[in-house]
């Protein structure tokens, strides 16, 4: 597997020379400064490629785009046919420009509004350090009592609602501000923030939109861009919802095995694939991540490897990469087996890029102010654990 590391571009507090020291050789990044729906030019792509090479002493290569964003108007199918066609065309041009620059793996998501959702960005760990965490009672407190979303109570159990009420009654203004900030960190690119009235306003745009509506809009998007990706040799790979459940009443359409099957069947093509995120899918109690990987192995073009530990009420916490509720060794066996199959087919692109996803803040990570979930040492630890597991699997398989 191609060991990769996510980098958020020049503003990232983690530097490319530091990433070199992790042992990764691939960089996963995006042109985050370009507004959604605007074409990524060949010049801008090449400039970022050159920066990655030069700053890393030619030891790193930009190999995966994460993400080429899908404009909210596409998810909503709003703005009229002309605006949508312009957005589709801009996306197609960006795909062709990436391919022309030699980048062929493009991760994206179709999550309405929020890319991911957590309620704690620095949950203290027993042995020291911090992790990301999603507390169901805190989320319910925000949704029901701070956001005051109509009908929100129906999305939570009586026990969760009781604990949410106790939390809101005991909370101080700074507790509520901290909760708002944690939830806002999941907005695309983590660069935009709303206060509570602002969040209500943007959520209103989705009023009356159902899961079937989002699916139909998604299928229209795939029909518009997958043929171009196929022609250009680009592998599109959708990232699952995080968490894999409706959030603030927003429909989610990439949450489970049935959703993935719908997407991949909507426009059958090797260019229409999956980013296997073991943490996002693993947060769903009904999801068997290993079985999902086995079923869709041929269409997995990129892997985010992380683990979560779930609670009975739907809460979950980022675990160590080899711990948590997903059998990471079994999952790696599936992915490595798919690589062997592709190599046997004679495919030049048999090697699957992967990156250690998220990580605990440890040691010098603490207080550094890196992107939530993306510290240096915690991810390097995860990469080292994954590297060791992969080496052990490969050694055992050769001896068998």
**188: pLDDT confidence band, cut at 50, 70 and 90?**
low
> 344: Cβ–Cβ under 8 A, 6 or more apart, which residues?
none
Domain count across the chain: 2
Verify that 231 and 365 share a domain, yes or no: yes
Same domain for 231 and 303: yes
- CA–CA gap between residue 79 and residue 352 (Å, rounded): 38
Of residues 77 and 63, more confidence is placed in 63
List, in order, residues 6 or more apart from 198 with CB less than 8 Å away: none
Q: What pLDDT is stored for residue 190 in this prediction?
A: 41
Contact 135, 119 (CB under 8 A): yes
Q: Residue 23 half-sphere exposure, CB side, CA atoms within 13 Å?
A: 17
pLDDT score for 150: 94
Q: Please report whether residue 243 resides in a domain.
A: yes
pLDDT grade, residue 127 (50/70/90)? confident
Name the pLDDT band for 192 (thresholds 50, 70, 90).
low
* pLDDT tens, residue by residue, 289-325: 999 999 999 999 999 999 999 999 999 999 999 999 9
pLDDT, one tens digit per residue, over 98-124 is: 999 999 999 999 999 888 999 999 999
Residue 127 domain flag: no
Asked if the structure places residue 124 within a domain, the reply is: no
Flag whether pLDDT at 370 surpasses 70.
yes
Residue ending a domain, among 204, 227, 255, is 204
Check residue 115 and give its pLDDT: 87
- pLDDT for 79 equals 66
Instruction: Supply the pLDDT for residue 164.
Output: 98
Band the pLDDT of 186: cuts 50, 70, 90.
confident
Question: Per DSSP, what are the bridge partners of residue 207?
Answer: none
Q: How many CB atoms lie within 10 A of CB 151?
A: 8
Is residue 374 one of the residues assigned to a domain? yes
**One domain for residues 359 and 231:** yes
Same domain assignment for residues 185 and 214: no
- The 3-state DSSP class for residue 169 equals helix
CB 23 within 8 A of CB 382: no
Residue 329 phi/psi, 5° resolution? -65, -45
Q: Which domain holds residue 107?
A: 2-117+210-399
150 and 227 assigned to the same domain: no
Give per-residue burial for 258-267: e unless 16+ CB within 10 Å, then b.
ebbeebbebb
Of the candidates 204, 225, 255, which is a domain's last residue? 204
H-state helical runs in the chain? 16-20, 42-55, 72-76, 81-100, 136-140, 158-170, 173-184, 196-203, 211-232, 257-266, 278-282, 289-295, 328-344, 376-399
Average pLDDT for 64-81: 89
**Average pLDDT of the segment spanning 354-360:** 97
Same domain, 292 and 163: no
Q: Looking at residues 163-176, what average pLDDT do you find?
A: 97
Q: What is the CATH number of the domain that holds 262?
A: 3.20.20.150
Cβ-based neighbour number of residue 133 at 10 Å: 22
* Active-site annotation, residues: 239, 277, 304, 357-358, 374
Q: Which of 42, 33, 27, 36 is nearest to 96 (CA)?
A: 42
Indicate if 214 and 348 belong to the same structural domain.
yes
The answer to whether position 126 is within a domain reads no
The residue among 204, 237, 265 that closes a domain is 204
Residue range 215-242: mean pLDDT, rounded: 97
Closest CA to 294 of 258, 243, 330: 330
Percent of the chain with pLDDT over 90: 91
């Amino acid at each position: 597997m191609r060991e990769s590391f996510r980098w958020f571009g020049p503003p990232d507090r983690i530097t490319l020379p530091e990433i070199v020291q992790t042992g990764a050789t691939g960089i996963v990044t995006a042109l985050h400064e370009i507004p959604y729906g605007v074409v990524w030019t060949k010049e801008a792509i090449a400039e970022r490629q050159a920066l990655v090479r030069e700053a890393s002493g030619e030891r790193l290569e930009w190999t995966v785009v994460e993400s080429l964003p899908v404009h909210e108007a596409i998810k909503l199918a709003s703005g009229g046919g002309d605006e949508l066609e312009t957005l589709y065309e801009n996306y197609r041009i960006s795909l062709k420009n990436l391919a022309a620059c030699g980048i062929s793996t493009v991760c994206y998501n179709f999550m309405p509004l929020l890319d991911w959702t957590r309620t704690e960005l620095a949950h203290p760990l027993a042995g020291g350090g911090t992790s990301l965490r999603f507390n169901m009672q805190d989320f319910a407190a925000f949704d029901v009592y701070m956001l005051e979303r109509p009908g929100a109570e129906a999305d939570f159990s009586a026990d969760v609602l009781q604990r949410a009420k106790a939390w809101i009654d005991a909370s101080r203004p700074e507790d509520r501000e901290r909760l708002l900030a944690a939830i806002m960190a999941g907005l695309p690119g983590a660069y935009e923030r709303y206060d509570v009235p602002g969040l209500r306003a943007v959520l209103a745009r989705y009023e009356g939109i159902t899961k079937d509506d989002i699916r139909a809009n998604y299928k229209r998007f795939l029909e518009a861009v997958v043929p171009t990706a196929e022609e250009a040799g680009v592998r599109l790979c959708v990232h699952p919802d995080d968490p894999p459940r409706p959030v603030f009443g927003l429909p989610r359409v990439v949450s489970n095995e049935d959703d993935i099957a719908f997407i991949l069947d909507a426009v059958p093509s090797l260019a229409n694939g999956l980013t296997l995120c073991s943490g996002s899918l693993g947060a769903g109690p009904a999801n068997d991540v290993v079985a999902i990987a086995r079923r869709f192995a041929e269409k997995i073009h990129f892997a985010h490897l992380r683990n979560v530990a779930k609670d009975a009420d739907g809460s979950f916490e980022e675990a160590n990469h080899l711990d948590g509720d997903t059998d990471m060794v079994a999952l790696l066996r599936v992915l490595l087996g798919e690589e062997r199959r592709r190599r046997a087919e004679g495919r030049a692109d048999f090697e699957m890029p992967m990156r250690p996803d998220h990580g605990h803040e440890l040691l010098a990570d603490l207080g550094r102010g890196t992107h939530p979930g993306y510290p240096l040492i915690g991810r390097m630890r995860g990469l080292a654990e994954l590297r060791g597991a992969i080496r052990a699997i490969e050694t055992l398989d050769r001896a068998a």
